[in-house]
Amino acid sequence: MTKKFGFTLIEVLIGMSLLSIMMLLLFGSLRISVRNWDAGEKRILEVSESAAVQNFFQRYLTAVRPLWDDFSEDQPKLSFQGESRQLRFVAPLPASAGRQGLQVFSVKLKKYAESDSLVVNILPFFPLEDGEEWKNEEVTLAEKAGEFKLSYFGAREDDEPSWHDQWLEQTKLPLLVKVEMEFDNGMIWPEMVVELRLSASKLDNQDDLDDLDELDEDLL
């Protein structure tokens, strides 16, 4: 009598059960890996946005120019105008940006359907010549910005230097600008204090003013 080799029904069921358990463990590990990957990418994006905001203020606030805007209004006023949630100032762009001359930076929170974003609008400071057109450029610094607060340190009128929520209709720049920000997900980055290198209170003599004029002429 010939003996036949093969698997019994019980052996097949045991093998299928073991295979099912292995597949469940494998897909479970894959889900955990994908979840960790997504969390890591989200964290990297949040850190990069925070770094972009800090780099922007560190680069351009330190280069603010204490210039008077007398092109658009009857009453000239200092180009630096700061509120608790928005800021307008004049500074140069680097040569690699491809835009010559001084630029007006307007930083504010822009409301969208789901959340706010921190954006900056850039326009030339000096009026364009006849026939020239320049489209307003808007750059998003950070998305899902829950809180954004600015504070200004300096002496207004005859007061002693202190922190203020606004810096409007002043004749000189503040000494310091403090930037605080919090994202919708609760992420808070450390407050940032930027010193304005060309603060009007530091321009005490004509030589400093002449140096400032020469620097601005080189940027035109």
pLDDT at position 113 = 67
CA 34 to chain centre: 29
More confident residue, 39 or 94: 94
For the chain, the domains span: 50-219
What is the mean predicted confidence (pLDDT) over 75-95?
87
pLDDT at position 38 = 60
- Terminal alpha carbon distance of the chain: 104
pLDDT at position 47 = 56
pLDDT at position 36 = 63
Distance CA 36, CA 86 (A): 36
What is the mean predicted confidence (pLDDT) over 177-194?
81
pLDDT at position 208 = 46
Mean pLDDT over the full length of the chain: 76
The answer to pTM > 0.75 is no
